[in-house]
Structure 1
Amino acid sequence: MIIPDTGAALAPAHGHEALHRRLEDLEHRAAESANVSEARALLEEASRIRYRAQRAEPAGHP
């Protein structure tokens, strides 16, 4: 399964709420998936998004 690039989900204009919703959606879809490969791909995408978001946060910002 190919997961579309979600780099736009990290754009400042979308805010943290959109990022949170995107991560919840990916995790929910992974939990509901009957296909292990699809679930793994969804969780890996969520992990990549979290990592990029953490790297984009200013130092000292929670």
Structure 2
Amino acid sequence: MPQLNPAPWFAILVFSWLVFLTIIPTKVMAHSFMNEPSTQSAEKPKPEPWNWPWH
């Protein structure tokens, strides 16, 4: 039964993690955002009071 031989599957596991940990993060981090987020002020806006008729 070939599935009981761990040698090729362990090599596949190691090489796939090598790819995941080296190549993919560099490609993901190389993307640039079209709209850079702007910093907001530290003060919170005051909420408006509700103007509902409570009956």
- The normalised TM-score by structure 2 is 0.39
Higher relative contact order (CA 8 A, sep 6+): 1
More helix by percentage: 1
Query: What TM-score, normalized by structure 1, do the two folds share?
Result: 0.35
Rg larger for: 2
